[in-house]
Amino acid sequence: MTLQSKTHTATAQAHPNIAFIKYWGNQDNRLRLPANPSLSMNLGDLRTVTTVTFSADLPGDALTVNEQPVVGPGLERVTTVLDLIRQQAGLELPARIESTNNFPAGAGIASSASAFAALSLAGAAAAGLDLDEASLSRLARRGSGSASRSVPGGFCQWLTGSDESSVAVSIAPPEYWDLRDVIVVVSQEHKAIGSTGGHHLAPTSSLQAARVAGVENRLKLCREALLARDLAALGPVIEEDAVIMHGVMMTSHPPLYYWNAATMTVIHATLQWRSEGIPVYFTIDAGPNVHLICEAADAPTVAARAGQLPGVQQIITSGPGGPVRLL
């Protein structure tokens, strides 16, 4: 077919997301079908821009992230997604993938969600495929589970189900609620065990079944609070859900201790500030950094206070973000 002999390129942008109800553990590790539904907010001020170029001139898939070549497992995950695209498009060309983030590498902000969302759209477009949102979310999921949630815009829920049905859908657009994620960076160390490995360990914790069993209720409370723009209802649920996930992590075999000293400092500070009347709540992903969720009006105060805490290296603030899109 003609595509084989030409160069095809496309560029897409996607945002990372912060989960209010966490994804931890899979029903199917290869397909990344999650053990439970999850809910997140795209982070509009943070971006990954990815260009995919299929070209017969390449010896094989070649990946750069922030202009640095990536090989090994990082490249293999990208190739897995591109293979699904090539298969669907009937394409056999290798690809050059150039991905850049506007947020600091190693700041503990997971770039895999935005990276695989952007890769899916850029790759599909470059291959001449016109995929709908559900198909893109499904494709992104195969590279990184949470990437499924970076495909639709705003506040997104990722459904459990089969390979066909486990996709994310937007439950409110980014302008629905002007929340802020004040990201308190307390460590820039590379994680000893990344999320993919962690998901595989989830079933080894004696608390994982209880976590999964409780998600339905927490997700319902979270969704209702979100739709009511009720931070006082949303906050306690996201804190509890995050702590339950870390309880599972710290009791898996082997245990995963993502929290460090500064993580606890920020947790206690958050409780203290709340007792002083500032409506701010924390959530924590698979790492030590703390995400402080508050209304836009309180974000400057929260960011200023967090920046004064011992062990805090950097503060990055983001509001809600839109869907993946072509540039």
Q: Which residue ranges make up the site for a copy of itself (CB under 8 A)?
A: 206-207, 209-211, 213-214, 239-240, 243-244, 246-247, 250-251, 255, 257, 259-265, 267-268, 271, 310-311
Residue whose C-alpha is closest to residue 283's, from 212, 180, 195: 180
- DSSP symbol at 90: T
Length of the chain in terms of residues written: 327
> Whose Cβ is closer to a copy of itself: residue 49's or residue 207's?
207
Task: Find the shortest distance in angstroms from Cβ 129 to a copy of itself.
Answer: 43
> Whose Cβ is closer to a copy of itself: residue 209's or residue 297's?
209
Task: Find the shortest distance in angstroms from Cβ 216 to a copy of itself.
Answer: 11
> Whose Cβ is closer to a copy of itself: residue 84's or residue 309's?
309
Task: Find the shortest distance in angstroms from Cβ 251 to a copy of itself.
Answer: 5
> Whose Cβ is closer to a copy of itself: residue 178's or residue 189's?
189
- CB crowding 139-159: b at 16 or more within 10 Å, else e: bbbbbbbbbbbbbbbbbbbbe
Between CA 91 and CA 128 the distance in angstroms is 10
> Whose Cβ is closer to a copy of itself: residue 75's or residue 264's?
264
Contact between 303 and 96 under an 8 Å Cβ cutoff? The reply is: no
Phi, psi torsion values for 11, nearest 5 degrees: -125, 135
Between CA 292 and CA 75 the distance in angstroms is 32
> Whose Cβ is closer to a copy of itself: residue 134's or residue 267's?
267
Task: Find the shortest distance in angstroms from Cβ 228 to a copy of itself.
Answer: 20
Task: Find the shortest distance in angstroms from Cβ 315 to a copy of itself.
Answer: 18
Task: For residue 247, give both structure tokens.
Answer: 């309880």
Task: Find the shortest distance in angstroms from Cβ 187 to a copy of itself.
Answer: 11
Amino acid of residue 72: G
Task: For residue 59, give both structure tokens.
Answer: 């010896």
> Whose Cβ is closer to a copy of itself: residue 25's or residue 154's?
25
Task: Find the shortest distance in angstroms from Cβ 254 to a copy of itself.
Answer: 9
Residue 142 parent element (H or E): helix 133-143
Strands across the sheet containing 62-65: 68-70, 62-65, 95-101, 48-54, 8-14, 325-326
